Structure 1
Amino acid sequence: MNQTPVNPITLQVINGALKTIAEEMGHILYRMSFSSIIRESQDLGAGLFDINFQTICESESTPMHIGSIPAYLRGIQETLQGGEWHEGDVVIHNHPYYGSSHSPDLAIIIPIFYEGELVGFSGNTAHHIDIGAATPGLIIDVGDVYAEGMLMAGLKLYEKGVRNEGLAQMIIHNSRASIQLLRDIEAQVASAQLGVKRFKELLDRYGKETAFNAVDQLIDYSESILRQRIKEVPNGVYRAEGFLDDDGRNRDNRLPVVVTVTIEDEDITVDLTGSAPQTPTAYNVPFEGSCKVAAYAAFRKLLLDTHISGTPVPSNEGSFRPIKVIAPKGSIFNPIFPAAAEARFTQCNRMIDLIIKALAPVLPDKVIAGSSASISFASYSGIKDDGDYWVFLEVNEGAYGGRPQSDGPDSIDNLMANTRNNPIEDLGMHLPMICDRYELRDDVMPGAGKYRGGIGVVKSQRMLTPGSITHESERHFDVPWGIFGGADGAVGKTEIYNYASQDNIRQMPSKFSGHPTQAGDVMAYYSPCGGGYGNPLERPAEQVRDDVLDDFCSLEHAFEIYGVVLDKQLDIDMVATLDRREILSRITSE
C-alpha cells in the first residue's frame, strides 16, 4: 500500500473517529449486558485491530482487557475452526494457553471484510459470571486448566452469518448462570458488529488507502512519543521485590515477585526472573494475555499520562512496541500447560506496583507510593427456591499511594484495573443479599506523608440463603510501601461471621475457595491503605487538622507522626506544633 502521508487535519479527524468507534463499542456492550460485572462494573474492553493483529484503537475501559486482544487474535490464528475467515463469522475464544487473559474473559471477534478483502477485526472481551468452573463464578484452588470451565479456542459462534446452535446449546448446559452468560455474549456480538459497521463507514468516507495510512501514522506516532519519554529516563538496571501471601492452598508459603527493569536508550525490558515458580493452584498468570499486558499498562501510566504530559497519545499498538517482557517458563508469570491460571490479577497488580517502586529513584515526579496493588474479587452464590443457581461477582475497591502533588485517592480500583463499584441498590433488587456496611476504613491509618496514602474500603455483604463464597485478594502481610520519607500504609484483612452472633468472627486468608455459608453469614473485606509520599512533617498542619475532623486521622496519629498539636476544640496550637515537629525532625535525622 502506498504510504502517502495523511495531512494533519485529516489525521486528527480519523484519530477522533477511531476513538469514538471504540468508545461506542464499549458503551453498547455494557448497556446491553445483563450481569452486573459487565453492566455495572464495566469489566470489559473493545476495539479495532488490523490484519497483523495490531491495536488500531481501544475503549477507555479496563487496560487488562484491551492490551490482551492482540494475544487472543494470535491464539485464534492457531486454532480457528476451519482455518479460514469468512464474512459473517463470529468467533468466541477464551483459552489461556492461546492468548486469553484468563478463561472467564470471553473474547468475541468478527472479521472486517471491505470490498471482498479481509482488512481487520472488530473485537471485545468481557468477564463472565460463570463458565462452569469447579466453584461458582471464581476459582482458585484447582489442579489444572480443565477445572476452569469451558475452554473455547477459535470456535465459530456464527459461521457465514449462521449461528452454531450446537455451540450455543453447549454453553447453556455448562454454566450455572447460563441465561445471563448467553445474553452477555449476545451483547458482545452486537458491540463487535457495531465496530464492523462503523469502520466500514470510515473506509467509505476516506477510502481504504487514506484510512490505513492514517492508522499506520497514528501507531508510529504513539510509538515515537513513548520512545521519546523512555529516552528521558536514565539508562540503567532498576530492581524491586515483594511477596504475595500464598497460592490459595499452601498458607505459609510466601511467593516472591522480583521485577528488574532495564532502560537502554529508547527500549525497556521487564524481567521477572527470580519470581516464584508456578503454583499447583489457579494462582498463575497467562504470559501472553496477562503478564505482558501488565507491563504495557505500567509504562502507559508512568510515561504517557495525559494529565502530566498534556499531550494526548492515541491508545494503539505503538504504546506496546518498545516494551519487552521476560518471564521464565514454569514461573508464576509464565506457567506451563496444563497448569490452571484463572486467579491471575493480584500478581499483575503487584508487578506494576514494583515497576513503579523500581523506577522511583529516577522518576520521583512521576511515581506514587505503594498502592493496595491487589484486587478483591469475590464470588457469592447459592440455590434459589426453584433450584436454580444465583451467582454474583463483585470487585471491591482499594486505594492509591500518595502522589507528588496530592494525596492518594481513597477507595478506588487501582493500577491495572478500571472497574466501577456495583451499586448496592442493584444488589438488593436482584439478589438475596444485603450490604450491611460500605464505607472507608476507620480501624487503621493510611500511610502518613506530605501527601498521605489513600484510605481503603470496608464492605460487608450478608447472604440471605445458604451458599458459598470464593474470594481472591492479596496483601494481608506485605504492607504498601511509603516513599521519600512517607510511612507505609496498612495491610488488608477479610472476616466472616454470622449476622445474628457477631462474637464469633473468623479471620480468613486473602484467598479461599468454595467456603460454605449459611443464611445470615457476612463477609467483611477491608482493603489495604496506600503508602505516604514525602516527609509527614511537611504536610501543612491545617490539612492534618482537616483529616482529624474527617476522621481520617486520630489525634494521637496527628501528634505522634505529623507533629501537629490540637487543643480540646481541635484548633491548632501552632507554637506547640512547631516545637513538636522540631523534636520529631531531630529524631528522624539521628
Structure 2
Amino acid sequence: MNQMTMSKPVQSKSRMKVDPITLQVIRGAFETIAEEMGHVLYRMSFSSIIRESQDLGAGLFDTDFNTLCESESTPMHIGSIPGYLRGIAETLEDGEWYEGDVVVHNHPYFGSSHTPDLAIVAPVFVKGRLVGFAANTAHHVDIGAATPGLIIDVPDVFAEGMLFAGTKLYRKGEPNRAMWNFIRRNSRAAQQLVADIEAQVASARLGAKRFVELIEKYGEDKVFGAAGQLMDYSERLMRQRIGDIPDGEYVAEGWLDDDGRNRDQRLKVKVTVRVEGDGVEVDLTGSADQTPTAYNVPFEGSTKVAAYCAFRKLLLDAATSDVRAPSNEGSFRPVKVTAPLGSIFNPRAPASAEARFTQCNRMIDLILRALAPVMPEQVIAGSSASISFAAYSGVRPSGDYWVFLEVNEGAYGGRPRSDGPDSIDNLMANTRNNPLEDLAMHIPMICDRYELRDDVPPGAGEFRGGIGVVKSQRVLTSAFITHESERHTDAPWGAFGGQDGTVGKCLIYNAARPDEAREMPSKFSGLAVEANDVMAYYSPNGGGYGSPLKRPARKVLEDVLDGFCTVEHARAAYGVVVDLDAETVDIPATEALRTRMGG
C-alpha cells in the first residue's frame, strides 16, 4: 500500500549536561522568547484574524528543525513549523542561508499547514555559523485565492492564491523589492497583508536576536545542552502517560457532511489508535479518498500536527497534570501518524488542501472516542469538533476590497467531573472572538445577534454537553460569503450513558424578511448576497457525559430557568419534574419518575 508515515526527527545534539538550576533558567528564557515573539506579532498586526483572534504560532528551532520552544497561542499551530522548515530545506532560494535572510513559505506540498498560514523564518547565526531559526506562522486575510479570504470549491492547489516555497523576502538584509511588489499586486487586502507580514518579520527578527543573546550569555554548548535535556524531559513525560494506557488497538469512526461541492456524499473519517508500550500510532487508513475540492488536509503541516495536539491535550494538559511539560519537540516523538497517500488526510499533488481544519478537529474528537473505554476519567464526550470559518467580502465605492475573516465558537462535550464549557473554540482551535465594536469600526457589517444557542438543548448527561453559539451577521452592502463548517448531519456523541448533542445549522435571510430563511449546507463558496442579508450560524451543542438520571435536579432546574432546557426535556431526558411557575423542582414526583426510568 502506498502510504506515508512520520519519521522520527533527528534529536538536537546535546553538548553538555546542564545543572538543574541553570536548566530551569534556560527553560524560562526559551518560553519567554516564544511568548514575546507571539506577543509582538499579534500586537503589531492589522487584520483582526491575527490582532484579535491570535491565529498564530511562534518559536525557536535548531538546525535539525526540532522545536525548542513555541508560544502558547492557538493549538492549531502546535508543532507545524518543523514541517515548514523541512519544506524550505528542499526549496530554499540560493540553496543556502545568509545572515540577514528572511524567508516566506506556505506551500502545502512542502510542509505548510495550509496556504493562508504564511511562515516567516529568520536564520540565527553565531560567529558566522548557522545555529538555528526563529520562525512564526499566522493566518492571513487574503493571499489572492479564487474567492476572497477563504476557498472551498476549487480544482487544485494553484487556485489557492500565492504559493511561496523557500522564497526570500530579504537576502543578506536587503529587501527583495520585486517580491514585495508581487505580494502587493496579488491580494484583495494588500495593505493588511503587507503590514501583517511586516509584523511577522519583526517577530522573527526579535526571536533571532533573543536567541543570540541567550547563547552569548550562557554559551552555545550550555544552551543546546539544556534544549536537548528539555526535549528529552518532555518526551519522557509523554511516554510515561502513554505507558499508562493499556496496549491495544482502539477504533472510532465518524462522518463529514460533504466536500463543499458534492452534496449528500458524506466523507468517512476512521481513526485507529495503536498503543504499544510507551509509543502510540494514529492510523487514518479507511478514511475517505481525497476530494476534488479544497477539502483535503496537508499531511506534514496539519494531519501530523492534529495528532500531536490530541495527545498533548489528552495526556499533558496543564490543568490536569501535576507537572508542566515544556512545549517542544520531545512531546511529538512518541506519536506516529499514518495516512494513505491519496486519502483526505494525505492528498496527492496538485489537489487543493486549504479547507483542512474541520477534518483535523474531527480526527481529535475520534481519538478521544476511540480511547474512551480505557480512559474514562480522562476523555470528554463529543464536542462540536468543527470550526465555523466565514469570509465576508465586498468592494468599496473606491474600488478597493474589504475582507473580513471570522471564527465562530462551538462547545465542548461533557466531562468526567463537570459540564462541557459553553460557546468556546474546542479541541484544536483556541482563537479568540472578534469584538463586535471592532467589526463595526472597520467593515460594513453589523451583528444582529450573538448569544448562547437556545433553540435546541445540549446533550443530556450527569454532566451535560456545552451550549453552542448563535451569531447573526448582517452585511450593509452587497457582498460575498464563503463558509466552512461541519457537523450538520453527525451529532456530537454522548459518553457513558450521556445523550448525543445536536447538529449545527446555517441560515441566510434578509433582515426585512426573516421568515424566508433558507438553510445552507455546512460549507459553501462565493455566495452573492445583498445589503441587509444575514448569515445566522448555529454551532453544534456538545454531547453529555454519564447518565442524565444522575444529574442533580437543581442543575436541571437552573438550565430550565436559564432557557437552555424546556420543562418537557427536563422530564423526558433527566426525569426531573419542574414547576415553572414556582421555579422549583417537585422532589417526590422527580424521585418517582426517575425510579420508573431506571435511575
Question: Same fold by TM-score, threshold 0.5 exceeded?
Answer: yes
How far 1:299 sits from its partner (Å)?
0.3
Q: Which of 570, 578, 581 in structure 1 is aligned with 2:591?
A: 578
In the TM superposition, what whole-angstrom CA distance separates every residue of 1:70-99 from its partner, at most 9, and x where no partner exists? 000000000000000000000000000000
Q: Within the alignment, does 1:569 sit opposite 2:585 as a pair?
A: no
Specify which of 424, 430, 444 is matched with residue 456 of structure 2.
Answer: 444
Structure 2: distance between partners of 1:63 and 1:92: 21
Deviation at 1:3, TM superposition (A): 3.5
Correspondence for 2:89 among 69, 74, 77: 77
Determine whether 1:30 maps to 2:61: no
Q: Given that residues 46 and 66 in structure 1 are in contact (C-alpha distance below 8 angstroms), is that contact kept between their aligned partners in structure 2?
A: no
Distance in 1, Cα, partners of 2:40 & 2:346: 34
What is the CA distance between 1:208 and its match in structure 2? 0.9
Question: Are 1:365 and 2:377 an aligned pair?
Answer: yes
**Where does residue 501 of structure 1 map in the other structure?**
513
After TM superposition, give the deviation of residue 503 of structure 1 in Å. 2.1
Structure 1 390/317 Cα, relative in aligned 2: closer, same or farther at 3 Å? Answer: same
Q: Are 2:78 and 2:309, in contact at CA under 8 Å, matched by a contact in 1?
A: no
Residue 23 of structure 2: aligned partner: 11
Q: Does 1:407 align with 2:404?
A: no
- Cα deviation for residue 422 of structure 1 reads 0.4
Deviations 1:541-587 (A, max 9, x none): 1111111122121111111111111223021211111101111117x
Task: Report how far residue 205 of structure 1 moved.
Answer: 1.4
Instruction: Give the letter aligned to residue 146 of structure 1.
Output: F
Where 1:276 maps in the other structure, the secondary structure is: coil
* Shift in Å, 1:116: 1.2
Letter in 2 for 1:163: P
Cα distance in structure 2, aligned partners of 1:585 and 1:206? 66
Question: Is the CA contact 2:108–2:298 (under 8 Å) kept in the aligned structure 1?
Answer: yes
Residue 192 of structure 2 corresponds to residue 206 of structure 1 = no
Q: Does 1:381 align with 2:393?
A: yes
> Aligned letter for 2:409?
E
Please state if 1:486 is matched with 2:529: no
User: Of 134, 149, 153, which residue of structure 2 is paired with 1:141?
Assistant: 153
- What CA distance in whole angstroms lies between the structure 2 residues aligned with 1:459 and 1:363? 35
> Among 313, 319, 325, which residue is 1:313 paired with?
325
Task: Classify the secondary structure of the residue corresponding to 1:360.
Answer: helix
Give, in angstroms, the shift of residue 252 of structure 1.
Answer: 1.2
Tell me how far apart the structure 2 counterparts of residues 420 and 443 of structure 1 sit (CA, whole Å). Answer: 24
Is the alpha carbon distance of 1:297 and 1:150 closer, same or farther for their aligned partners in structure 2, counting shifts above 3 Å? same
Kindly indicate whether the alpha-carbon contact (under 8 Å) linking 2:14 and 2:228 is maintained by their aligned counterparts in 1.
no
Match of 2:10 in 1: none
Indicate the residue corresponding to 1:396 in structure 2: 408
Determine the C-alpha separation between the residues in 2 that align with 1:532 and 1:455: 11
| Distance in 2 between residues matched to 1:68 and 1:270, nearest whole Å | 17
Return the offset for 1:5: 1.5
Instruction: Find the residue that maps to 2:379 and give its secondary structure.
Output: coil
State the Cα deviation string for residues 278-309 of structure 1 (Å, max 9, x = none). Answer: 00000000000000000000000111112112
Spell out the pairing of 1:30-429 with structure 2 (5 A cutoff): 30-429=42-441
Q: Is the Cα contact below 8 Å between 2:14 and 2:224 reproduced in 1?
A: no
Partners of 1:320 and 1:4 lie apart in 2 by 23
Letter in 2 for 1:63: P
TM-superposed CA distance for 1:2, in Å, is 6.5
Partner of 2:6: none
The whole-number CA distance in structure 2 between the counterparts of 1:566 and 1:488 is 23
Deviation at 1:195, TM superposition (A): 0.4
CA contact (8 A) 1:390 1:431 kept: yes
Give me the whole-angstrom Cα distance separating, in 2, the residues matched to 1:245 and 1:328.
21
Q: Aligned equivalents of 1:574 and 1:7: distance in 2?
A: 63
Q: In structure 2, what residue type is equivalent to 1:496?
A: I
Residue 379 of structure 1 aligns to a residue whose secondary structure is: strand
Could you say what secondary structure the match of 1:102 adopts?
coil
**SS of aligned partner of 1:437:** strand
Q: Percent identity?
A: 71
User: Is the Cα contact below 8 Å between 1:44 and 1:127 reproduced in 2?
Assistant: yes
State the SS of the aligned residue for 1:314. Answer: coil
Closer, same or farther: CA 457–2 of 1 in aligned 2, 3 Å: closer
Contact 2:456–2:564 (Cα < 8 Å) also in 1: no
Q: Which amino acid aligns with 1:169?
A: N
Stretches of 4+ aligned residues off by more than 6 angstroms: none
Q: Distance in 2 between matches of 1:557 and 1:501?
A: 31
Indicate conservation of the 8 Å contact 2:14/2:226, yes or no.
Answer: no
Counterpart residue number, 1:470: 482
5+ residue gaps, structure 2, are 1-12
Contact 2:56–2:138, Cα closer than 8 Å, also in 1: yes
Structure-2 separation of matches of 1:492 and 1:343? 18
- C-alpha distance in 2 between matches for 1:3 and 1:534: 51
- 1:201 and 1:2 mapped to 2: Cα distance? 19
Q: Could you give the per-residue CA deviations for residues 483-541 of structure 1, whole angstroms, max 9, x where no partner exists?
A: 00000000000000011112211110000000001111100000000000001111111
Question: Following TM superposition, by how much is the alpha carbon of 1:13 offset from its aligned partner in structure 2, in angstroms?
Answer: 1.1
- CA distance in 2 between counterparts of 1:6 and 1:460 reads 55
**What is the one-letter code of the residue matched to 1:576?**
A
2:440 is aligned with 1:456: no
**Would you say how many aligned residue pairs link Structure 1 and Structure 2?**
586
1:473 and 1:161 mapped to 2: Cα distance?
Answer: 42
Amino acid at match of 2:71: S
Deviation at 1:235, TM superposition (A): 0.1
Give yes or no for contact 2:390–2:482 (8 Å, CA) kept in 1. yes
Residues of 1 paired with 2:217 and 2:592: CA distance?
71
Amino acid at match of 1:574: I
Cα deviation, 1:302-358, whole Å, max 9, x if unaligned, reads 111121122100010001000111100000000000000000000000000000000
Distance 1:268 1:56 in 2: 22
Name the CA distance, whole Å, in 1 between partners of 2:447 and 2:411. Answer: 20
Is the Cα contact below 8 Å between 2:70 and 2:328 reproduced in 1? Answer: yes
User: Partners of 1:213 and 1:105 in 2: how far apart?
Assistant: 32
- TM-score, normalised relative to structure 2: 0.97
Shift of 1:66: 3.2
Matched AA of 1:434: I
One of 517, 523, 532 as aligned partner of 2:535: 523
Distance in 2 (alpha carbons) for counterparts of 1:580 and 1:20: 57
Amino acid in structure 2 at the alignment position of 1:581? R
User: C-alpha separation between the residues in 2 aligned to 1:8 and 1:351?
Assistant: 38
Distance apart, 1:64 and its partner CA: 2.0
Provide, for residues 404-438 of structure 1, a one-character-per-residue CA deviation record: whole Å limited to 9, x for no partner. 11100000000011100001110001100000000
Amino acid across the alignment from 1:451: F
